[in-house]
């Protein structure tokens, strides 16, 4: 596995874990910076801001990995390399 593929997979996994923590246990995620979530609307805001937006970044990472892998498997990358 190439370094580029491994980097994309690690980045996608990191975004997924980060998003999952803030979506499912936002009080645990905010405890690292000493923030408290005293009211339910604060938890909802943290879930939406950090969980939801990072989940979109994770989805983009999965798309990047899948398009990178499909490009490599179809030979487009090989053909483009030959043109150089």
Q: What are the domain boundaries of the chain? A: 3-83
Q: What is the pLDDT of residue 41?
A: 93
Closest CA to 52 of 40, 43, 64: 43
Kind and range of the H or E element at 51? none
Cα 38 from Cα 51, distance rounded (Å):
18
Looking at the predicted structure, is the pLDDT value of residue 83 above 60? no
pTM over 0.85: no
Q: What is the pLDDT of residue 6?
A: 85
**Mean local confidence (pLDDT), 19-39:** 87
Per-residue pLDDT band for 73 (boundaries 50, 70, 90) equals low
- What secondary structure letter does DSSP report for 47? I
């Amino acid at each position: 596995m190439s370094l580029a593929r491994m980097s994309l997979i690690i980045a996608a996994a990191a975004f997924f874990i980060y998003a999952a923590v803030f979506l499912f246990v936002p009080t645990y995620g905010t405890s690292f910076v000493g923030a408290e979530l005293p009211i339910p609307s604060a938890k909802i805001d943290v879930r939406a801001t950090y969980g939801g937006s990072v989940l979109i970044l994770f989805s983009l990472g999965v798309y990047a990995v899948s398009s990178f892998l499909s490009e490599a498997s179809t030979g487009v990358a090989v053909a483009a390399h030959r043109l150089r």
